[in-house]
Chain A
Amino acid sequence: MSDKHLQSSQRRKFMLGAAALPLALAMSRMGHAAALPTAQVNTTGLAITDTEVVVGQLHSATGTMAISETGSIQAEQLAIDQINQMGGILGRTIRVIKEDGASDWPTFAEKSRKLLVNDKVAAVFGCWTSASRKAVLPVFERENGLLYYPTFYEGLEQSKNVIYTGQEATQQILYGLDWAKQEKGAKTFFLVGSDYIWPRTSMKIARKHIEAFQGGKVVGEEYYPLGNTNFNSLINKIKIAKPDCIFAAVVGGSNVAFYKQLKAAGITANRQFLLTLSVTEDEMLGIGGENFEGFYASMKYFQSLDNPNNKAFVEAFKAKYGPRAVIGDVTQAAYLGPWLWKAAVEKAGSFDVAKVTAASPGIELPTAPEGFVKIHENHHLWSKARIGMGQADGQFKVVAESPELIEPDPFPKGYQ
């Protein structure tokens, strides 16, 4: 038993090492940087000593969002542990101060001030919902902090103090719609979402794209309050409208009710094509694979992606958090945060926020589990879009992938 355990843990270490190799090489090129004195790498009074750099982590560990944000917390911690194992950043070990935003936007604002003003952290990895990001954004801009934000979101935002490691709306939507038209022949769409800014903006973009660029037709557009669990009237409307495609952005607990009721009403994958923007492996745990089987999700990352980076990442993640842990799109995006920050700090040769953000555009990360990514001038990531088909075991089978990296465009012209 113990022998076996030893073996597997050695294998894990080997895998980790393999994944880290390209970065380690990059490190050695920057070897001189490790010797940089603190006075030189930190001119703005951040919490940095000769051996340590302090960062903040601000997610909801409690409250309704905890279930979604836990994956991000774990992924960021994993990345930081891996970086520390490799010797840290500029020769300094990363120390994390964790704060709980408690699913409460004002608490997020309070805690972000605490991290920036009191703890003087060099960077913050955190936030999940748009509401929490909107609450902390003025604080980050005012105190000149640096936030790595992992969630796919509605766009319409660009801040010098934020690096967005998730997709903005067009990166997630346009490829999915084109794929639906070409592969599935979808001409009529029924749009349905939870009623807040992200689904509203996403559907606005989707409608423009369908009507103006694809010559398709939107036969229905419905929004339901967050937490809504009764979709019977929607299902009737769908049955009457008979769309080629249900295009969904229903979030949180509503998801579970939505897919169960669709199935109960006989709207299953063999009769109806459905493409969603809001179901990842994490949501599948709640929905149940049997209720989502055969439906499609448009994301940039799926746990089942077949490449060496992702294999090592999944292995390391499961080694740390147990074999049943699942990894969704946002979890992977959260994992990129510390690595992108490391690369930018090393390029800048400094922890100063202004220098790190100036160095960020053009940073490339070939070791990302989703594959090669690059930071755009607008602080979003160039990344690919992928379509996954839900499986009964709660995983996705990747059925399509954009051939090129898609340029982030948070203020899309022609879609306003």
Chain B
Amino acid sequence: MDAIKHWLTRGGYGSLLILAVLLLVVFPLAMDLFRLNLVGKYLTYGFVAIGLVMLWGYGGVLSLGQGVFFGLGGYAMAMFLKLEASDPESTKIQSTPGIPDFMDWNQLTELPWWWEPFNSLPFALFAVVAVPTLLAFIIGYAMFKRRVGGVYFAIITQAVALILTVLIIGQQGYTGGVNGMTDLRTLLGWDIRTDEAKYTLYFVTVFLLLGSIMLCRWIQLSKLGTLLLAMRDKEDRVRFSGYDVSMFKVFAFCLAAALSAIGGAMFTLQVGFMSPSFVGIVPSIEMVIFAAVGGRMSLVGAVYGALLVNFGKTYFSESFPDLWLFLMAALFISVVMAFPNGLAGLYESHVKPWLTRRKAAPATTPEPPAPGAETTANIASPTSSGTASPTSKISISTKVSSQSA
């Protein structure tokens, strides 16, 4: 019993368990399929947010271009689904049957060679993770080896997001352009639009997300995680200790990219299309906000952040179609002003002490807080630096201004 308790607190798995119960039991029972499908969609942003916790919260590297990897993962999946939806029978109305409809509209008469491999699902799944990771490796290697970091790195990632958007929109014969890839139907003959499919995909998303959190948790608890933290707080000291700092950063960047890409692929499957509107600068900054609202040091917090912001977006825009942008802005501003460490920080500073007090109250002799509780506090926000870093404020104010523009 104690061993289990220790495992739960030591690894911070208690909060993960609560999240798992919420996602696997409470939501499916409490919501109709439409809302559940929306939650599934929000959770795909959760992948990006936990990637950012590893990269930004732990590695100290702020990327404002995670939409690139989300988009690439999503597009890789969409390409496979689009090819399957474009069999000669259902595209016989086109001048060239058997190729995706947007190619036909753009006067392409055969499938481009680099589309061919996407006829195979294993290749597509491989590409979902491999292509974004490879791109992250190239960008990361080029930047971090030259010790480009901080704001400069953030700006370069934004530039990448912009470049990729322009590329996708410009090469519409190959990518579907501004419309994106729409009308995706089946995965190996399995209709992804049915109710059962939506349930299945929701649970697949949840399990992948929980698995990703556990993987990241494992990394955080390992020596690697400690090194990432050390690097964030005193980079030079780690470098002088003989570690190759740049490769650790590259690793964190690739990890965040791979996680985002999985999120993107699950997004495509659940929503049934992919468009360049996820790749650009604004969505990329939005993704940073999910992590900021949830608490950039907390993996579970980041998922709650993604859920809360998107719930807010849906709820406000449904209930107050004329005012919802202002309400979202108010939410972001109040997060930054009132609890700069996000939801997880709020928990640490307010809920936790209250819980400890309550626990201590019935006991006749006040005991010092259990050592386990302290450990959890540290894990949920190790070396929480008190205030949000300047970068987090910058990103949020950028977002607010772009929304009100």
Using A100-B324, A138-B272 as known contacts, say yes or no to A106 and B277 having CB atoms under 8 A apart. Answer: yes
Using A142-B193, A201-B105, A225-B166 as known contacts, say yes or no to A135 and B314 having CB atoms under 8 A apart. Answer: no
Main secondary structure on B side of the interface with A = helix
For chain B residues 245-268, which have a beta carbon within 8 Å of chain A? none
Quick check: is B164 within 8 A (CB to CB) of the other chain? no
Query: Looking at chain A, what size class is its interface with the partner chain?
Result: 35 or more
Quick check: is A380 within 8 A (CB to CB) of the other chain? no
Interface window among B58-66, B178-186, B288-296 = B178-186
Q: Cβ of A411: which chain B residues have Cβ within 8 Å of it?
A: 93
CB of A252 to closest CB in B, whole Å: 11
Quick check: is A122 within 8 A (CB to CB) of the other chain? no
Q: Cβ of B378: which chain A residues have Cβ within 8 Å of it?
A: none
Interface window among A110-118, A229-237, A298-306, A397-405 = A110-118
Considering the chains assembled together, what is the distance between the CA atoms of A204 and B182 in angstroms? 22
CB of A200 within 8 A of CB of B179, answer: no
Q: Mark A114-132, 1 if CB is under 8 A from B, else 0.
A: 1001100000000000110
**B182, closest chain A residue (CB):** A134
Quick check: is B273 within 8 A (CB to CB) of the other chain? yes
Number of interchain pairs (Cβ within 8 Å) = 93
Q: Mark A28-69, 1 if CB is under 8 A from B, else 0.
A: 000000000000000000000000000000000110000000
Using A61-B322, A100-B324 as known contacts, say yes or no to A138 and B179 having CB atoms under 8 A apart. Answer: no
**B273, closest chain A residue (CB):** A135
Considering the chains assembled together, what is the distance between the CA atoms of A321 and B166 in angstroms? 38
Interface window among B169-177, B360-368, B381-389 = B169-177
Contact of B321 among A99, A110, A138, A195 (CB under 8 A): A99
Q: Cβ of B172: which chain A residues have Cβ within 8 Å of it?
A: 195-197, 200
Quick check: is B38 within 8 A (CB to CB) of the other chain? yes
**B93, closest chain A residue (CB):** A411
Quick check: is A98 within 8 A (CB to CB) of the other chain? yes
Considering the chains assembled together, what is the distance between the CA atoms of A200 and B172 in angstroms? 10
Using A113-B34, A114-B34 as known contacts, say yes or no to A135 and B166 having CB atoms under 8 A apart. Answer: no
Quick check: is B311 within 8 A (CB to CB) of the other chain? no
Q: Mark B179-208, 1 if CB is under 8 A from A, else 0.
A: 110111100000001000000000000000
Contact of B180 among A131, A142, A195 (CB under 8 A): A131
Q: Cβ of B178: which chain A residues have Cβ within 8 Å of it?
A: 131, 196-197, 226
CB of B177 within 8 A of CB of A197, answer: yes
Q: Cβ of A61: which chain B residues have Cβ within 8 Å of it?
A: 321-322
Quick check: is A105 within 8 A (CB to CB) of the other chain? yes
Using A100-B324, A135-B182, A226-B169 as known contacts, say yes or no to A105 and B277 having CB atoms under 8 A apart. Answer: yes
Quick check: is A137 within 8 A (CB to CB) of the other chain? yes
Q: Cβ of B37: which chain A residues have Cβ within 8 Å of it?
A: 113
CB of A356 to closest CB in B, whole Å: 23
Q: Cβ of B212: which chain A residues have Cβ within 8 Å of it?
A: none
Q: Cβ of B105: which chain A residues have Cβ within 8 Å of it?
A: 154, 156, 197, 200-201
Using A104-B277, A226-B169 as known contacts, say yes or no to A138 and B180 having CB atoms under 8 A apart. Answer: no
Contact of B271 among A62, A98, A109, A130 (CB under 8 A): A109
CB of B34 within 8 A of CB of A130, answer: no
Contact of A138 among B32, B106, B170, B183 (CB under 8 A): B183
Contact of A197 among B38, B102, B318 (CB under 8 A): B102
Contact of A225 among B41, B106, B169, B185 (CB under 8 A): B169
CB of A114 within 8 A of CB of B182, answer: no
CB of B317 within 8 A of CB of A200, answer: no
CB of A74 to closest CB in B, whole Å: 14
Using A105-B179, A134-B182 as known contacts, say yes or no to A110 and B41 having CB atoms under 8 A apart. Answer: yes
Q: Cβ of A225: which chain B residues have Cβ within 8 Å of it?
A: 166, 169-170
Considering the chains assembled together, what is the distance between the CA atoms of A196 and B175 in angstroms? 12
Q: Cβ of B324: which chain A residues have Cβ within 8 Å of it?
A: 62, 100
Quick check: is A102 within 8 A (CB to CB) of the other chain? yes
CB of B317 within 8 A of CB of A102, answer: yes
Task: List 18 A-B pairs, Cβ < 8 Å.
Answer: A100-B317, A104-B277, A105-B179, A106-B271, A118-B34, A131-B275, A134-B179, A134-B182, A135-B179, A138-B183, A138-B272, A196-B179, A197-B105, A200-B172, A201-B105, A225-B170, A226-B169, A416-B95
User: Can you name 7 extra interface pairs (CB under 8 A) apart from A154-B105, A195-B169?
Assistant: A99-B321, A100-B317, A131-B180, A131-B275, A196-B172, A200-B105, A200-B106
Interface residues in chain A, defined as those with a beta carbon under 8 Å from any beta carbon in chain B: 61-62, 98-100, 102, 104-107, 109-111, 113-114, 117-118, 130-131, 134-135, 137-138, 142, 154, 156, 195-197, 200-201, 204, 225-226, 411, 416
